Amino acid sequence: MIFRRPAPPVRPEPDGPYPPTDEMLSTPVPKDEQAAQTKRLRAVWDPPTGWRYWSAVNNTEVGKWYSLTAFFFMLCAGLLALLIRLQLAVPENELLPADRFNQLFTMHGSAMMFLFAVPMFEAVSILLLPGLLGARDMPFPRLSAFGYWCFLIGGVFVLGSILFDAAPRAGWFMYPPLATEDEGPGSDIWLLGLSFIEVASIAAAVELIVGALKCRPPGMRVNLMPLYSWYVLVVGGMILFAFPPLIAGDFLFELERSFDWPFFDPTRGGDPMLWQHLFWIFGHPEVYIIFLPSIAIVAMIIPTVARRPIIGYSWIVLSAVGTGFLSFGLWVHHMYTTGLPGLSLGFFSAASEAVVIPTGVQLFAFLATLIAGRIRMILPMLWIAGALAIFTMGGLTGIMLALAPFDFQVHDTYFVVAHLHYTLFGGMVFPVIAGIYYFYPFITKKQLSVRLGRWAFWLIFTGFNITFLPMHLTGLLGMPRRVFTYPEGLGWEAPNLISTCGAFVVAAGFAVFVWDLIRPKASQPQIERNPWKAGTLEWTHDVPEEAWGMRSIPHITSRYPLWDDPKLLERVDSGRFYLPDAPEGRRETLVTSVIDAEPIMVQRVNTPTWLTHLAAAFTGGAFIFPTFHLYIPAIISGTLAVATILYWLWSSTARPPEADTKDAGLGLRLPTYVSGPDSTGWSAMWITMLGDATAFASLVFGFFFYWTSQPDFPPSGAEHAALGFVALAALGFMVSWALTLAARGLNRRGQESAARGALICGPIATAGGLVALVYAVLPLGPTTHVYPALLWAFAIWISAHGAVGLIMQLYCLAGSLFGKLTPRYDADLWNVSLFWHFFLISALVACALLGPVARVL
Amino acid sequence: MTEEEHPPQADEERHEFSADADSLWRLTLAPATWALHFVLCYATISLACARGLFPVGAARFWLLGLTVLALLVIGRQGYKALKQWNVLDTGALSHPDGRAEDRHRFLGHAALLIAVISTIGTVFTSFPLLLLEGCR
């Protein structure tokens, strides 16, 4: 196919032959040219050295820090678990006081979930995905780095609180009223610290979805994607729908903690059940957000072990997508005992049973592949075998627990603790460790020890079962969770003591594993390039390590290119594919189309910087200062964060390129600048706003939840938001939205002055809308009742977004004035108008609720 | 050789939602139907039982009708996906190759399987409606 070139070439299209013919690929590249290309690529991609190393943004570096940090937090949370087990080893134990114990189990759960399981997915994906897709890097390397530094700051803050006896202590799900009434900063640390980390998670999700959709190598159609990318896509989508409800919940919760707005206080119309709903709408999908990427690692290893392509590729895609959806219909199975109608429980019980089917399908596809293949029992496979055994047991108790009557009996007992550890160890810990053994040569260009690996496996596997198998019995004997001690004579002594012993065996296993991971390996001989004889693209990596990711980005025609195309490796290495050079001295990767991965553009990706650290530190301040009710420093810190991020965007994103197109290799000329839906920035905005819309929808859900659950909401005779001001606000936002769109059209047609005029009037209309909205709710007293508090919450939410929209308009105005934004280079304006589409919808919904709807209900 | 080649369009944003995103979004249609059905069941029963807006018997009847409708929608998706997969004519059960046709059939196959699981999910959701009476 030859791409057509429109005349005149104002907005260049891809131009040249595609796909490449075998003849083109066979044309040799002269040796001296290869050497020159290698030198240039190396100069561009090498991470900085010395102390500047920490300013690196390469996915390989950030991914390593990310995963090591998450692993470190996991070890800390594991130590907390050992303390818990020590306290419970014998009845009437006085090792730890009750309050300490509460902090320990709260932090153990919170850290394992928020600081290990979810970040580990992001870390591993950032580390692996570009390799699997033959991309040079992620599309937004600085965003990954920003996410990492946010995670590090937030994680240290949350986990560090335990050293000051100030850790949260109301359980990892922070149920009100216990958590709202709790004295001390514990609950605030949980709410603000983890919200901060959730923001980083959403950033990673955006990055990973765009990466999986748009940074695939040419020719890698959706039916050829490595299964890992399918899972990443599904999990990224799940994060966008699962995390925002929790963020909305955190928002309401923190307003109650800080300003006494009674969202969860029944004496003033609130309802603690709303928190439970919002938490578990997040919490249950989260289990699958943890499980799916780990099982995705298994899906990458199984074909290598079986030495054949995966069986049931479409079935595994079904499994990922199906699980992703069904997992959103399970949340109430954590709330079976809260007195909901039996019919409602029935729906969730049914969905909880249905999700077993897609979950099981992928396991059977793996087994079928193993049966049909010729198995080579490599060490990662041992861990996978353990994972399958343990996960299946956890799944079976899951089926029991999904039945409401059974759950009534064992709710809040150690049976549930046993179940969840079986699913999480089998579904996450074992597959991830399998992945570490498997991908270690790819990540570090060294090998882990097989002998130590076997020791670690058998210690952890037996220790795990010694710890958690008896817990089923402990639970059936009636021992409740979260008690710091228990009396003698209930039959709980023996199983508890056995569990404690087992926990230390697990710890010994982890000690062996950690030693293997960190022991010096400098004297190890150079590893083979493809030590497991795998078929996927990541094993084209360079040994010894090169920072460029791929020497040249190949054209792909099968699922296992290394098995199917014997010439591929040599062609990649000699730079016969795309982007074999960096003549402009810029970091670049290819952007391709979503379905068929046809080349669209050459994306310039970003270079090392300290801006991400600054932005993360200031953002951290904005979240951490309010924990101690230091609102002025928080506002200053937040303002500095916005300023830093604006400078970051201004100085390094969507800058007009030095030339409109460039030679991407193999005769293909690709644009270097694309605006609108084809660009990665536009996709990122779309995905971010989808998550943001979900958070807003959760607030709307809150409104109707109160209306459903309470006989009198809005209370009769309650003061409503002033209708005139609400209408004025809606009008202001609509005018501003129209002006933003007009600016985009005018600018594109070359009428820059008119566009600037629209961008001057737009912010004025936005500001007018914001002022009107504030006036609409100003007379209401948010501490008196949940109804005015909720109206205020809507006003704050919309105002904050309106302020962001206003900054964006001014940013575009500045861009137009200073030559960053021109009729040709208008990506910023496209992205901003997309933001405004979403903002207008949420603003109008909020105005409708505040105005007419509240009066009609 | 590929089918997605369009002349440049004035409104590229709409183009992304329809043509380019078409096939991947189609995978989500059947489970989205399940999700909508699920949410409507949950919300209706809450309104009947917690708020008392209408009798629960009528709600169950209405929701069973909705179930039939949802199954029809999912069935239609499944049928279209089956035709796209085209297994009855080609006999090809998997599509590991790199041609546009393989991608097309693969998306049909995946959409069909997802429609099947959505059917199962929707039928499961309807069991409580059939089997449980009243709000307790």
Give the separation between CA A75 and CA A183, rounded to whole angstroms.
Answer: 29
**What's the pLDDT tens digit per position in A158-216?**
999 999 999 999 999 999 999 998 888 999 999 999 998 988 888 899 999 999 999 99
The answer on pLDDT for A4 being more than 70 is: no
- Does an H or E element contain A670, and which? strand A669-671
> A347 and B46: CB-CB below 8 Å?
no
DSSP A820: S
Give the separation between CA A468 and CA A498, rounded to whole angstroms.
Answer: 9
Give the separation between CA A196 and CA A634, rounded to whole angstroms.
Answer: 13
The two structure tokens encoding residue A177: 């009223």
Q: What pLDDT does residue B84 have?
A: 87
What does the radius of gyration of chain A's CA atoms come to, in whole angstroms? 28
The answer on pLDDT for A628 being more than 50 is: yes
* Chain B nearest-CA residue for A833: B13
What does the radius of gyration of chain B's CA atoms come to, in whole angstroms? 20
**What's the pLDDT tens digit per position in A474-503?**
999 999 999 999 999 999 999 999 999 999
Give the separation between CA A415 and CA A393, rounded to whole angstroms.
Answer: 13
Give the separation between CA A194 and CA A120, rounded to whole angstroms.
Answer: 15
> B124 and A353: CB-CB below 8 Å?
yes
The two structure tokens encoding residue A599: 């080349």
* Chain A nearest-CA residue for B22: A595
A782 has a chain B CB within 8 A of its CB: no
* Chain A nearest-CA residue for B60: A343
Residues in a beta bridge with A599: A592
Give the separation between CA A166 and CA A160, rounded to whole angstroms.
Answer: 9
Q: Count other Cβ atoms within 10 Å, centred on residue A480.
A: 12
The answer on pLDDT for B7 being more than 60 is: no
Among candidates A739, A754, A720, A741, which has minimal Cα distance to A847? A720
pLDDT, mean of residues A97-112: 96
The alpha carbon dihedral of A668, A673, A675, A678 has a sign of positive
- Give yes or no for a contact between A119 and A197, defined as CB atoms under 8 angstroms apart: yes
Burial A255-278 (b: 16+ CB within 10 A, else e): bbbeeebbbbbeebbbbbbbbbbb
> B42 and A318: CB-CB below 8 Å?
no
Burial A331-361 (b: 16+ CB within 10 A, else e): bbbbbbeeebbbbbbbbbbbbbbbbbbbbeb
The answer on pLDDT for B9 being more than 90 is: no
Residues of B whose CB is below 8 A from A321: 27-28, 31, 110, 114
Give the angle subtended at the CA of A18 by the CAs of A14 and A19, to the nearest 5°: 145
| Inter-residue long-range contacts of B26-29, CB under 8 Å, 24+ positions, other chains counted | B26/B77, B26/B81, B26/B107, B26/B111, B27/A321, B27/B107, B27/B110, B27/B111, B27/B114, B28/A321, B28/A325, B28/B114, B29/B77, B29/B111
Tell me the DSSP string of A247-286: HHHHHHHHHHHHH---TT-GGGT--HHHHHHHHHHHHHHH
Residues of B whose CB is below 8 A from A343: 45, 49, 56, 60, 128-129, 132, 134-135
- Does an H or E element contain A209, and which? helix A194-214
> B51 and A707: CB-CB below 8 Å?
yes
Name the residue with tokens 């420093």.
A633
Residues of B whose CB is below 8 A from A6: 8
**Mean pLDDT score of chain B:** 82
Residues of B whose CB is below 8 A from A677: 12-13, 15-16, 20
Give the separation between CA A89 and CA A485, rounded to whole angstroms.
Answer: 9
Residue type, A526: Q
Residues of B whose CB is below 8 A from A13: 8
Q: Which of A314, A326, A353 sits opposite B109 (nearest CB)?
A: A314
Q: Count other Cβ atoms within 10 Å, centred on residue A686.
A: 21
Tell me the DSSP string of A710-774: -TTSSPTTPPPPPHHHHHHHHHHHHHHHHHHHHHHHHHHTT-HHHHHHHHHHHHHHHHHHHHHHH
The two structure tokens encoding residue A788: 């005015």
The answer on pLDDT for A699 being more than 60 is: yes
Q: Which of B21, B116, B128 sits opposite A350 (nearest CB)?
A: B128
Among candidates A84, A88, A72, A90, which has minimal Cα distance to A108? A84
Residues of A whose CB is below 8 A from B122: none
| Partner B, chain A 328-367, Cβ-Cβ below 8 Å | 328-329, 341-347, 349-351, 353-354, 357-358
Tell me the three-class secondary structure of A127-168, residue by residue. HHHHHHCCCCCCCCHHHHHHHHHHHHHHHHHHHHHHHHCCCC
- Does an H or E element contain B78, and which? helix B56-85
A707 has a chain B CB within 8 A of its CB: yes
**What's the pLDDT tens digit per position in B37-92?**
999 999 999 999 888 888 999 999 999 999 999 999 999 999 999 988 888 888 88
> B128 and A346: CB-CB below 8 Å?
yes
> B102 and A221: CB-CB below 8 Å?
yes
Q: Count other Cβ atoms within 10 Å, centred on residue A419.
A: 23
- Give yes or no for a contact between A752 and A702, defined as CB atoms under 8 angstroms apart: no
Residues of B whose CB is below 8 A from A325: 28, 31-32, 34-35, 118, 121
Strand, helix or coil for residue A310: coil
> A593 and B20: CB-CB below 8 Å?
yes
End-to-end CA distance of chain A: 60
Name the residue with tokens 């035709």.
B83
A595 has a chain B CB within 8 A of its CB: yes
* Chain B nearest-CA residue for A223: B103
Size of interface A-B (CB pairs under 8 A): 164
Residues in a beta bridge with A662: A670
> A341 and B129: CB-CB below 8 Å?
no
The answer on pLDDT for A141 being more than 60 is: yes
The two structure tokens encoding residue A268: 């003033």
Nearest-CA distance B126 → chain A (Å): 8
Q: What pLDDT does residue A857 have?
A: 82
A325 has a chain B CB within 8 A of its CB: yes
**What's the pLDDT tens digit per position in A310-332?**
999 999 999 999 999 999 999 99
Residues of A whose CB is below 8 A from B32: 325
The two structure tokens encoding residue A235: 């999990």
**What's the pLDDT tens digit per position in A387-442?**
999 999 999 999 999 999 999 999 999 999 999 999 999 999 999 999 999 999 99
Q: Which of B4, B97, B129 sits opposite A558 (nearest CB)?
A: B97
Q: What pLDDT does residue B25 have?
A: 83
Give the pLDDT band (50/70/90) at residue B134: confident
Among candidates A593, A583, A757, A741, which has minimal Cα distance to A680? A593
A819 sits in the region (left: phi over 0; alpha: psi -120 to 50; else beta) called left
pLDDT, mean of residues A763-780: 96
Task: Provide the ipTM.
Answer: 0.91
End-to-end CA distance of chain B: 61
Q: Which of A312, A351, A598 sits opposite B121 (nearest CB)?
A: A351
> B46 and A344: CB-CB below 8 Å?
yes
> B107 and A329: CB-CB below 8 Å?
no
Instruction: Report the DSSP pairing between strands A588-592 and A599-604.
Output: antiparallel
> B106 and A353: CB-CB below 8 Å?
no
Give the separation between CA A592 and CA A602, rounded to whole angstroms.
Answer: 9
Nearest-CA distance A6 → chain B (Å): 9
Residues of A whose CB is below 8 A from B127: 346, 350
**What's the pLDDT tens digit per position in A567-576?**
999 999 999 9
Give the separation between CA A348 and CA A619, rounded to whole angstroms.
Answer: 38
| Partner B, chain A 550-589, Cβ-Cβ below 8 Å | 556-559
The answer on pLDDT for A723 being more than 70 is: yes
Longest dimension (CA), chain B: 61
A219 has a chain B CB within 8 A of its CB: yes
- Does an H or E element contain A700, and which? helix A680-709
DSSP A621: H
Give the separation between CA A22 and CA A2, rounded to whole angstroms.
Answer: 16
Q: Count other Cβ atoms within 10 Å, centred on residue B123.
A: 15
Mutation for testing the A interface, residue in B61, B64, B117 having most A CBs under 10 Å: B117
The answer on pLDDT for B15 being more than 90 is: no
pLDDT, mean of residues B91-103: 84
Q: What pLDDT does residue A7 have?
A: 39
Give the separation between CA B98 and CA A220, rounded to whole angstroms.
Answer: 7
Q: What pLDDT does residue B50 have?
A: 86
* Chain A nearest-CA residue for B102: A223
| Inter-residue long-range contacts of B109-112, CB under 8 Å, 24+ positions, other chains counted | B109/A314, B109/B81, B109/B85, B110/A314, B110/A317, B110/A318, B110/A321, B110/B27, B110/B81, B111/B26, B111/B27, B111/B29, B111/B30, B111/B77, B111/B78, B111/B80, B111/B81, B111/B84, B111/B85, B112/B78, B112/B81, B112/B82, B112/B85
> CA distances (Å), A196 to each of A199, A203, A264, A634, A692, in order?
5, 11, 22, 13, 15
Among candidates A466, A465, A458, A493, which has minimal Cα distance to A479? A493
User: What percent of chain A stands above pLDDT 70?
Assistant: 99
Residues in a beta bridge with A2: A17
Name the residue with tokens 């796209």.
B84
> A595 and B125: CB-CB below 8 Å?
no
Residues of A whose CB is below 8 A from B49: 341, 343-344
The two structure tokens encoding residue A515: 């030693």
Strand, helix or coil for residue A602: strand
Contacts of A450 (CB under 8 A, 6+ apart): A379
Give the pLDDT band (50/70/90) at residue B22: low
> CA distances (Å), A689 to each of A744, A801, B77, in order?
19, 11, 28
The answer on pLDDT for B97 being more than 70 is: yes
Nearest-CA distance B15 → chain A (Å): 9
